Amino acid sequence: MRRETLQAWALILPALVLLVAFTHWPAVATLVDSLYTTPKGSRPPRFVGVENYVALMDDPVFWRALHNNAVYALVTIPASVVLALLMALAVNTALPGRPLLRMAYFTPTMLPMIAVANIWLFFFTPDYGLFDRIVGVFGMGRHNWLGDAATALPAMMAVAVWKEAGFFMIFYLAALQAMPPDLKEAASLEGSSRWNFFRRVTLPLLMPTTLFVLVNAVINAFRLVDHVVVMTRGGPDNATTLLLYYIYETGFRFWDTAMAATLTVVLLALLGTLAIFQFGVLGRRVHYR
Q: How confident is the model at residue 101 (pLDDT cuts 50, 70, 90)?
A: confident
Q: Could you give the count of Cα atoms lying within 13 Å of 35 in the half-sphere of its Cβ?
A: 6
Cα dihedral 188, 194, 200, 201 sign: positive
Tell me the pTM.
0.90
pLDDT of residue 287: 65
Q: How confident is the model at residue 288 (pLDDT cuts 50, 70, 90)?
A: low
pLDDT of residue 282: 75
CB 123 within 8 A of CB 130: yes
Task: For the chain, give the mean pLDDT.
Answer: 90
pLDDT of residue 261: 96
15 CB-near residues (< 8 Å, 6+ apart) = none
In this structure, how many other beta carbons lie within 10 angstroms of the beta carbon of residue 198? Answer: 14
Q: Is residue 236 reached through a cis peptide bond, with omega within 30 degrees of 0 on the bond before it?
A: yes
Distance in angstroms (rounded) separating the CA atoms of residues 253 and 256:
8
Residue-wise pLDDT tens digits, 184-193 = 778 887 777 8
DSSP code, position 200: I
Residue-wise pLDDT tens digits, 196-213 = 888 888 888 898 899 999
pLDDT-above-90 percentage for the chain: 59
Q: Which of 49, 20, 54, 25 is nearest to 37 (CA)?
A: 49
Residue of 243 and 41 predicted with greater confidence: 243
